[in-house]
Amino acid sequence: MSTTAALCVHSLIETRQCRSRRHLAFLLAYVGTLWAAGTVLIGGISAVWVDMFVYHASSALASPQAQTPAPGGASAVGNTAYWVILMLTDGMMIWRFKVVWFNSRFYRYLVSVPILCYLGILIPGFFVFVIFSNHPIWAGNIVNEDLITAIFSSSFCLNIYVTALIAGRLFLYRRRFKANWGSPDTMHYTSMGSMLIESYLPLTVFTILFFVTYLLNNPARYMTTSVLGQMQITAPLMVMLRVSRGIAWDSSTTPRSIEVAIDRALQVHEERAVQVVPD
């Protein structure tokens, strides 16, 4: 997480000439806020585990299921940081969805689903992770569990939806480009890895693992929660790293790739013409 964030900051500063000061400041603030929230979340989780399994080991280890941490303190700080991470991560997913699909005539019909899912994460998440976390008397455990299930369901649907549509559009673009112009530009989507990173597939995979273990009430969900928390920070930073280096999809990707393909074809034609010229 820290390494990826540092690479993003270094790359953004290195390529600052191609961005306005306001745009650069916004991207740097996004990376810094996401990294800070992730650091606070890890610290909060560590403090909660120490309090539960070190200071109150007799009660915490009485059941194979993890106990509900005490409200306030490290728990409240960690929950608030997690809500900020959800807001930033899922917000960036919608932004990248807009960038990839904006020029499509279907965009106006497709964008409503991720926006509704985002609202289904943001609003209930504020009550669960910020309000009810500090004042548990306002809501019982059943209400909290129902809201948390709704949040995770919305996040699951958002990840699946955005990943499928972004990956599908990039794959079709690559396929059509190769069929008409030959190999794509070396900077754009020549490998499946770059397409999968930009479509947030790593985050979606861990979201599915967590969602399954959560619905089954399997103790493994506590392990997948820790991994998912890290991936919710790392996945958008990996996309941001591509954005900072200018190799992520943007509105100029198609014309720039076609221009490069034409230049490459003309260069090959000139080389062949030189070869057939008699001495």
Task: Indicate the residue type of 264.
Answer: R
Is residue 175 a contact partner of residue 181, using CB atoms and an 8 Å limit? no
DSSP category for residue 16: G
Q: How far apart are CA 45 and CA 30, in angstroms?
A: 22
pLDDT at residue 258, as a whole number: 44
pLDDT at residue 113, as a whole number: 93
pLDDT at residue 182, as a whole number: 58
Instruction: Compute mean pLDDT per 10 residues along the chain, 279 residues long, and list them.
Output: 86 85 90 91 76 58 52 73 90 89 87 93 87 60 78 89 87 73 52 74 86 82 80 88 77 48 48 54
Q: What is the pTM of this model?
A: 0.76
Is residue 19 a contact partner of residue 253, using CB atoms and an 8 Å limit? no
pLDDT at residue 64, as a whole number: 47
pLDDT at residue 274, as a whole number: 53
Is residue 30 a contact partner of residue 88, using CB atoms and an 8 Å limit? yes
